[in-house]
Chains A and B, each alone.
Chain A
């Protein structure tokens, strides 16, 4: 189905026959996949396809997970895994009644790290002392991203980090994700803007809780016979 190689010791995250049930309904079906450190892995699919459930299973906060998920050689949710994890939830999960810097400082403190240059990296340095509740939606999303990046975790799970952002900022953030991967982190970035797949080293395509394909953006074009990524996804996703 996917043509990807079997499990290798270099995998940052590995799913083996993972099924997740929510409210008596299977949201992920028998998922087998893996992705490596040092690359940007994109998680794409229509809304309701199971992207957030897959990410929450890696973060260790999803109940009803059957099968085996391995996170940097550890069980999801274990202390060892949590030390290495930066997780950005789909809606900005930061404290609205704190300033940007206070938010980031707190998440740095509980991870035992320093703030460092994380506010520059998400282009929020000039907003450091603003209350989050006074920021725009796109700025809040970046505070949430900064809270995930701070302390330099080895695994980053970013659930739709670019949603609602302007094109310039989206481009800058994808560039940042590339830099973080080059520094050795493993990144799983979800999006439903299919065109963004071009920024990924590898793409996992999800439909109705099943992996339809896992391949590079170039392979995707070849396989579907179109350069247009939106069109390529539609060709893969639409039931034949």
Chain B
């Protein structure tokens, strides 16, 4: 493992983003627009906004980072830069960690911006520590990077890779406890939701919004989300084949 090659890769991905300000602006603005929309929908139901607003802070980074990462790596595959990198000293895990670092950084900025808006002007009320809320959002973003890199390993075109979004992300949204509390789901679905990372992220957000002393339980949720993120990255590196037809 070379730190220099990993950092060079992270720097390169950030430079690419710098030359694409519209994508960066969209990544930062869209979650803000959606949280504002949610606030307007629940204009007369403050409690409902408090209930849904925090979990969605975890869901947004998952979606944007998943899409951007999976398409970025797919683009490397299609344009041949991935093949060139695989003939260089850059290791596969170094490449994926470079992506995780750069998009993780961008996601952290996204999380801070949307959290500032939601907790400030929009007036979302949370009981737990705000810092943990941001940390959890950043960890979910890392998870999005890991899942995105993993998904792109199984896609050879843009059309295929965007189909992984409804396949990998949307079932997690249905089962994460946002629509129906997980305890009230049929036992099979509850068991499935136990195996999905977004469930823990949303649990953590629920805890933070409801309980004052939720630090310990939320830290456990954060650790689980991080473990899923690392697992997805390692699996992604393992599925990235050096030799192709």
20 more A-B contacts (CB under 8 A) besides A59-B83, A98-B15? Answer: A23-B245, A59-B87, A61-B242, A61-B244, A85-B87, A89-B80, A91-B79, A91-B80, A92-B80, A93-B79, A93-B80, A93-B83, A93-B84, A97-B20, A99-B19, A102-B15, A106-B11, A107-B88, A109-B5, A112-B4
On A, residues with C-beta under 8 Å from B are 22-23, 59-65, 77, 79, 82-83, 85, 87, 89, 91-99, 102, 106-107, 109-112, 131, 147-148
Number of B interface residues in the complex (CB < 8 A): 26
- In whole angstroms, what is the CA distance A28 to B5 when docked? 35
Contacts of B19 in A (CB 8 A): 97-99, 131
| Contact assessment for A97 and B16 in the assembled complex, using a CB-CB cutoff below 8 Å | yes
On B, residues with C-beta under 8 Å from A are 4-5, 8-9, 11-12, 15-16, 19-20, 79-81, 83-90, 241-245
Contacts of B242 in A (CB 8 A): 60-61, 77
Counting residue pairs across A and B whose Cβ atoms lie within 8 Å, the total is 83
Could you tell me the dominant secondary structure of chain A's interface residues?
mixed
| Contact assessment for B8 and A109 in the assembled complex, using a CB-CB cutoff below 8 Å | yes
| Contact assessment for B243 and A106 in the assembled complex, using a CB-CB cutoff below 8 Å | no
- In whole angstroms, what is the CA distance A207 to B223 when docked? 58
Question: From residue B179, how far is it (CB to closest CB) to chain A in Å?
Answer: 38
Contacts of A87 in B (CB 8 A): 84, 87
| Contact assessment for B81 and A111 in the assembled complex, using a CB-CB cutoff below 8 Å | no
| Contact assessment for B244 and A110 in the assembled complex, using a CB-CB cutoff below 8 Å | no
| Contact assessment for B84 and A147 in the assembled complex, using a CB-CB cutoff below 8 Å | yes
- In whole angstroms, what is the CA distance A102 to B81 when docked? 14
Contacts of B245 in A (CB 8 A): 22-23, 63-64
Question: From residue B96, how far is it (CB to closest CB) to chain A in Å?
Answer: 14
Contact status of A60 and B4, CB under 8 A, knowing A22-B245, A91-B80, A98-B15: no
- In whole angstroms, what is the CA distance A147 to B81 when docked? 10
| Contact assessment for A95 and B84 in the assembled complex, using a CB-CB cutoff below 8 Å | no
- In whole angstroms, what is the CA distance A107 to B242 when docked? 18
